[in-house]
Amino acid sequence: MSLPRTTGAEVSLDRLVSLADHVVAEGVPGLSHGLAGGLSGPRRGDGGDLFDLRPFQEGDDLRRIDPAATARSGRPQVRSRHEEVERTLMLVADFRGPMLWGTRGRFRSVAAAEALALEGWRAVLAGGRVGIMIVGNRQVDYLAPRARETAMLRVAEVLVRAHTSALADFQTEHDSAAALLDVIIERIAPGTAVRLATGLDEPGPDFGPAAAALMRKCPLEVLLVQDAVEAAPPRGSFSARIGSRIAKGRFGPSASADLLSLNGIPTRIVPAADPFVVSAA
C-alpha cells in the first residue's frame, strides 16, 4: 500500500493514521499467537488478584486508586491487574538531536515515529492498551496507556507535535541514551511492555546497568533506526542536514546493534529509507 507523500523531514499525522490500514491489510495476530513484548497470552479477564500497586500517573482511572495503600504511603496508589499490565504497550520515541537527520527517504526521527505507530496500531487492533513517551533534548512528553483506536489517534497527535517542537528547538548537546532509559524506569508501571525506537546515539558509560534495570522491571524491545549510510557507509566526506542546519562529516559503521546484543536486548532494525521493512538485528 502507498502512504501520503511528505518531505521525509516531518512526522505526518496523515501517514501515522494511514499506517492502521497497513496493519489491517497484513492481518492482526490474536494475542494468543504471541505478539512480542508482553502482549501475548490468553485474556484473563479482570480477575480478583492484583498484579501490583504503583503510584498514580496522569491519565490513570481514578476508580483504580486503592484507599488503603494510599493511606499507608501518603500518596495515591493505583491497582494494576494482570490483564491490564500484560496487554499494555508503552511506545518510546527518541527525539534527541542526533535523531534529527537523514540522507535518504526519511529522517531517523521520522522513521522512529512511523515504526512506533505501526507497533501501536498492531497492539490496539489486537485489543491492547497503548501509551507514548517522547524524550527530546529538554522535555519529556507522556501520554498514559489507553485502549481502542482513539488512543492511537492521540498518540499520533503527540508524535507530530513533539517532532515539530524538537526540530524547532534543535540542540547539539543532549542527554545520553542511558539517561533516556532512566526516564523510562521512572515513568513506566512494572510489567508494561516497552518498545523503544532509537538510533542509540551516545549510549553513555552507564547504558548497560540502566538497560539491565529497565529489563528487570519491564519487557524491553528496541527498534534500532539506521540511516542508509550507517548500514553501508560510503567513503569520503558528505553533507547532511541535522535539524535546521547542514553539517559535513564522515560516516562509519554503526556499533549500536552489537552493543544491544552484548546487553541481551531484543532488537529489530528499522531502515530509515523504507517505511515497511523491519528486520531482526
Q: Which domain holds residue 73?
A: 50-82
Q: Cell 517542537 identifies what position? A: 165
Residue 182 Rama label (left phi>0; alpha psi -120 to 50; beta) = alpha
Q: Does 77 share its domain with 94?
A: no
Q: Which residues, in sequence order, are CB contacts of 111 under 8 Å at separation 6+?
A: 102, 105, 197, 225, 270, 271, 272, 275
Does residue 187 sit within a domain? yes
Say what the pLDDT of residue 55 is: 75
Sign of CA dihedral 59, 111, 231, 99: negative
Q: Does 151 share its domain with 260?
A: yes
Does residue 231 sit within a domain? yes
> From first to last of its 281 residues, what are the pLDDT tens digits of the chain?
678 888 899 999 999 999 999 887 666 544 333 333 444 444 444 444 545 666 776 666 787 788 888 888 888 887 765 445 458 999 999 999 999 999 888 999 999 999 999 999 999 998 899 999 999 887 899 999 998 999 999 999 999 999 999 999 888 778 899 999 999 999 888 889 999 999 999 999 999 999 999 999 999 999 999 998 888 877 777 776 665 677 777 767 788 999 999 999 999 999 998 876 665 55
Q: Does 77 share its domain with 91?
A: no
Does residue 96 sit within a domain? yes
Does residue 2 sit within a domain? no
Q: Cell 534529527 identifies what position? A: 100
Q: Does 125 share its domain with 63?
A: no
CA–CA dist 39, 97 (Å, integer): 31
Does residue 32 sit within a domain? yes
Does residue 6 sit within a domain? no
Q: Does 260 share its domain with 204?
A: yes
Does residue 243 sit within a domain? yes
Say what the pLDDT of residue 79 is: 74
Q: Does 227 share its domain with 274?
A: yes
Say what the pLDDT of residue 42 is: 40
Q: Does 63 share its domain with 180?
A: no
Structural domain count of the chain: 2
Q: Does 112 share its domain with 75?
A: no
Phi, psi of 241, deg, nearest 5: -85, 125
Residue 202 Rama label (left phi>0; alpha psi -120 to 50; beta) = left
Q: Does 115 share its domain with 130?
A: yes
Q: Does 130 share its domain with 266?
A: yes
Q: Does 242 share its domain with 114?
A: yes
Q: Which residues, in sequence order, are CB contacts of 20 under 8 Å at separation 6+?
A: 121, 125, 149, 152
Count CB atoms within 10 A of the CB of residue 260.
22
